Structure 1
Amino acid sequence: MGDAATVRLASGAEVVGHVRLIGARVDPQTGLVRVRLALPVRPDIRPGGFAQADFASNSRAVLTVPEAAVRYGASGATVQTLDRRNAVRSRPVRVGRRGGGYVELTSGPPPGTRVVLGGGAFVLDGDVVRPTLGSGR
């Protein structure tokens, strides 16, 4: 709510509005959702008129790992990482948002660090493993 949107009117004029309401349902066929914008009062903006809106993105790059890579224990969340020798090391992490099978890491290993996905319950710190590549997403 409150995010900026640039609205292009049928006349070609552009105005800036702000998100006032986001609909609760997504149309399953089109993937569209209703959004209401607060717009300035202008003679060329009328109820029922059509326009095109571009929404400012508040997105940012984040580090994610597959949900299966995160282990939860008494001391918190961890991921098992691999060093250059393919030795396993548990590293504490803080998790953020989740979605699409992935978990955001708000703190933890740096980007590009390899993590253990399968068999993590049977792998201990210091074990040397033979990794196979995952999807790399």
Structure 2
Amino acid sequence: MTENVKEQLKKEGEKIARKSWFQEMEPVQIKIVDRKWKTKRGWYEWRKKVCYISGRQPIKDIIETVYHELAHHVEYQHAPNFFRRKGVMHSRNFKIIYYRLHSNIPLQKVIEGLYPYEHSRGWKWKDKKKTDMQWIPGKERR
């Protein structure tokens, strides 16, 4: 990654860090890595609260990937009664959060009016500190 690209990313990161919702949310680390994956541009590690972003893509795509992974972080950490359904990585609430993060609004406005989570088969937070999740088997479909 060139120095020019690093400087541009730093400026974009500072813009994001000034947004109201960013300053109010649970702390998160954003790591730009010199790596490319076949099926994704980044990922969110909920246990460590780290967003890993591939640095091998255009700057515009790196920034959008940062917003994407931050949307996962906000959903996991701040969406009321969060529940991750088996096989569903991007809930409709994720999509709402993702688009709202592009605005400079308070965190409460980002998560306001989200849809209730359907609790079938999937994972939910085991504790109030949100340090571990537990599997909810739900009903078997036949």
**What TM-score, normalized by structure 1, do the two folds share?**
0.21
Q: Of Structure 1 and Structure 2, which has the larger fraction of its residues in strand?
A: 1
Say which structure is richer in helix: 2
Give the number of the structure with larger relative contact order, counting CA–CA contacts within 8 Å between residues 6 or more apart: 2
